[in-house]
Structure 1
Amino acid sequence: MSKFYVIGKASPELLKKMHSDPAADRSAVMKSMCDSLGVKAVSYEWLRGRFDVLFCVEGDYESVLAMKVTVLNSGMMSDLMVHEVFDYNSAFKKAADVSKSYKKPGE
């Protein structure tokens, strides 16, 4: 199971809904979607800045991608990105190991 951060912007349609019902639990919809996909909801945060929402989940990539597609198709979010957390030490060790045998073309 991998950890993902999903970050996005609220659409004008969602902002209108939030304006008309500011007390609604927006995280409940996301948690329900996670449950139906077998994804664990870790955190749901609203942000100040370029993006509006940061959602942390644990699961497999295909399920998180299904969430992204569903949310984008709903029209509630835009510019939605999925970032997978990875072990950079392991990645750079692999890069160092493969560098020992890698030769540039023509060498």
Structure 2
Amino acid sequence: MFRYLIPFLIPATLAAEAPVIENATAERTGDTWRFDVTISHPDTGWDHYADGWEVLDANGNSLGLRTLFHPHVEEQPFTRSLTGVEIPDGTTSVFIRARCSVDGWSDERVEVSLTGS
């Protein structure tokens, strides 16, 4: 009797790691806000990399999107900024979430306080 071994194939999306927000800060600049966000992700090149992050209100509405146009294989973690973000009056905190080119938006959301900024 012959035994055949069938290898288990794990899709790349199951083995992939989501982008991690290492740090996020907000600074009021006149009537708008500037956000500096530090992300780490095991970018492998153009086929799989952290390709953006966004600012969300408490209801999940997007207030600003920072698209990342290239992989950061040799620069981990990395920080990118987004300026000119309009935040509704009375908002005391927002949330940042990151995205990668393969898995889409991460479930992780990091809260950023706007008080004292």
Whether TM exceeds 0.5 here: the answer is no
Name the TM-score, length of structure 2 as normaliser: 0.32
Larger RCO: 1 or 2 (CA < 8 Å, sep 6+): 1
Higher strand residue share: 2
TM-score (norm 1): 0.34
Question: Which protein has the bigger helix share?
Answer: 1
